[in-house]
Structure 1
């Protein structure tokens, strides 16, 4: 989905914002009349112009809010006194910082989302910038503050990890760009020229804020989308031959929870980050078997919410209200399936697709092609994904065998899991409880077309 074309300008609403003079170049900027300004000129996205010439910003394509909230992780094994957190409102267990999609909300609805962050952060995507039809993509960020910790008045930013063309002003790294204080907002402008899978996160107090959950996945669709190549109309890259085409796509975002750190932020304590040890390994913000539960609202451009703007819990799972992204892969025999992996935990992970081979066609938003066009893609059943890395992989769903291995449920089951045993099961009694999900292959024509990534196509 692409944005409509607007002349947009970076803006912090609510009057003049005084920068922290200790923050390097950030101290050079002040905010006057809604535009970032240096002396008597203002930044208009491409050049400096007189303040009086800067017009009002158009509506953003996406509007995110930074705040705190609660999610649910397995109550066993208990990690006294850190997990489950005694402050957690039922049915939740774990305190987080995070983002929420507040696009299209009224001011009243938006303010009511404080303490209702989700994990992982809202997935979103954007079309590659087309010079023949130039359209920028704008993401507005507001800082709602922390309900449980009003004493923590940290600013927030949105850093698009790996984005190659962003100017420092929109980079989100706080020593060289603008940070958003509590109660303010700022609009980031992007021209995404390189297709592939990326991630984004807050870059203020980044060890803490990343680990606490201010992290999400974003990808850029190639200009080639919509063409018919190799029997496909959707692609991961501009391959020219359909080799990265797919029928369905699923995002797989890897993160971690160190229970003590989350408890410490909830209880006005200071974690010692050099003692870091992850207790839970999450896939799309959930652990197995919750990874198989239905989606909540995922499509960021057509969100489904209640009358107050709050997230609606997936059917039958009130505890997953703020963990809306399912990881279950549903496909028909013969479908080519795209898997977009991104890791914003602090450890390397080894994601394995049991019984199937994946073809890796991209890494870190870079197609597996040499400078001379040589195909450097490769097949594997396991991806070793370091912190901050992303991989784009494809597999073709095999012939439906009659439901073997799935108790006669009408589909074949293949396991996608972390090969590190403790990260796949978290030592939870009675089940896995870690980075694991299933690929379910149905007979031809059973699963309907996808409306958005991770959609089950029912």
Structure 2
């Protein structure tokens, strides 16, 4: 059945007509940010913390859900998708260090999930967002923002909520400034038309690392890594793996590509994703979004495969920007939940309130930090306990929100160089 595009066009026209002052507010904001007073307020002093700079772009593009999923005409696979892709998305890309020409060339090359970012407590962070526009939908004038979900230190101007701060129009940049003071696992997303933009793929993870990493406790050696400033070494880990938990509704992605409107009350996911991938793609190696050698997973570069040595302490960072609850389960391994929503589970007197379980519940907009000690060598599964989330588009066999924990004999793997590596 053909869907009518008129309601969407009207709603956007009315939206633009009703917010004509945004352009003026953007210009005023730019003048304020460039004023001597604003520069003095945002520039670091001579004794400031380390400076960190990141440059992201927002755009659209194409990715690949597992091709063995059953067809769901006309929504999946999308007939407009260039080979070897099958699904339309919005997303962010990391373009730090690229020239202006290289940055412009990223239009139409969205990545899901968005790049993982990590900072240290006290860093001065400058995060520039460029809106490259939508290649498949040049008729749309969507702005983009960056909202650090759960982050308590952002001032309203840089919080990314468009009603209270600024949205970045097409062809423009905005630099966000942060100084994180609270360690933990957070997430970020576009907050402009957030129901649509989050579902379309504009989601990512951000970690704030504790000061305790610079001052080990409990007799731990220099170079020890901790999830939080625990004071007793209880959140020390050897390896870390992070998971952005989302769902993907093929019909909504098709409609955005084909200039049609979605009724979000009909939300009915087709795929359940870890870091933008569904099983068995979750176990494929990390890829390079700038290399065609990655094949159909080029724009889904973040692996969810967990690899560790027996006896190591492994940190799992779980964040959800989906719309459903998920019960992430591991059989035969005890999972210790040490933090919820970037808050260490300790009482005011320092008494640990950690939870030992084999199933970790993660709701929409929530994060969990979980530590386990790697057992005897072998393969174990991390999966959503709700079996209806373990398929691809309703097809036979396993799919969806599942990955492997591969444990090697002690000393087999060298030190981890980056999260999910």
TM-score, normalising length: structure 2: 0.89
Among 246, 254, 257, the alignment partner of 1:266 is 257
Among 430, 434, 455, the alignment partner of 2:400 is 434
Which residue of structure 1 aligns with residue 54 of structure 2? 62
Among 311, 316, 325, the alignment partner of 2:290 is 311
Q: 1:59 to 1:179 in 2, by over 3 A?
A: farther
Residue 29 of structure 2 is aligned to residue 36 of structure 1 = no
Distance of 1:47 and 1:122 partners within structure 2: 25
**Could you report, residue by residue, the CA deviation over 1:144-194 in whole angstroms, capped at 9, with x for unpaired residues?**
000000001100000000110111000000011011000000000001111
The structure carrying a bigger helix percent of its residues is: 2
Q: 1:278 to 1:138 in 2, by over 3 A?
A: same
Alpha carbons 2:42, 2:177 under 8 Å: kept: no
TM superposition shift of 1:32: 6.4
Which residue of structure 2 aligns with residue 283 of structure 1? 274
Aligned length: 396
Which residue of structure 2 aligns with residue 10 of structure 1? none
Residue 215 of structure 2 is aligned to residue 215 of structure 1 = no
Which residue of structure 1 aligns with residue 237 of structure 2? 246
Q: 1:379 to 1:144 in 2, by over 3 A?
A: same
SS of the equivalent of 2:233 reads coil
Residue 386 of structure 2 is aligned to residue 423 of structure 1 = no
SS of the equivalent of 2:102 reads helix
Q: 1:389 to 1:23 in 2, by over 3 A?
A: farther
**Could you report, residue by residue, the CA deviation over 1:124-161 in whole angstroms, capped at 9, with x for unpaired residues?**
110011xxxxx411110000000000001100000000
Which residue of structure 2 aligns with residue 403 of structure 1? none
Among 120, 124, 128, the alignment partner of 2:117 is 124
**Could you report, residue by residue, the CA deviation over 1:36-88 in whole angstroms, capped at 9, with x for unpaired residues?**
359x875337389xxxxxxxxx9961000000001100232211110000000
Distance of 1:71 and 1:103 partners within structure 2: 22
Q: 1:336 to 1:440 in 2, by over 3 A?
A: same
Residue 152 of structure 2 is aligned to residue 156 of structure 1 = no
TM superposition shift of 1:398: 1.1
Which residue of structure 1 aligns with residue 41 of structure 2? 46
Alpha carbons 1:31, 1:37 under 8 Å: kept: no
Unaligned ranges ≥5, structure 1: 1-19, 49-57, 130-134, 298-309, 401-411
Distance of 2:146 and 2:17 partners within structure 1: 21
SS of the equivalent of 2:227 reads coil
Alpha carbons 2:51, 2:125 under 8 Å: kept: no
Which residue of structure 1 aligns with residue 6 of structure 2? none
TM-score, normalising length: structure 1: 0.82
Alpha carbons 1:196, 1:219 under 8 Å: kept: yes
Unaligned ranges ≥5, structure 2: 1-15, 44-49
Which residue of structure 2 aligns with residue 186 of structure 1? 174
TM superposition shift of 1:296: 1.5
Alpha carbons 1:30, 1:36 under 8 Å: kept: no
What RMSD in Å do the two structures reach over aligned CA positions?
Answer: 2.4
Alpha carbons 1:24, 1:176 under 8 Å: kept: no
SS of the equivalent of 1:224 reads helix
Alpha carbons 1:21, 1:27 under 8 Å: kept: no
Alpha carbons 1:30, 1:37 under 8 Å: kept: no
Residue 83 of structure 2 is aligned to residue 90 of structure 1 = yes
SS of the equivalent of 2:77 reads coil
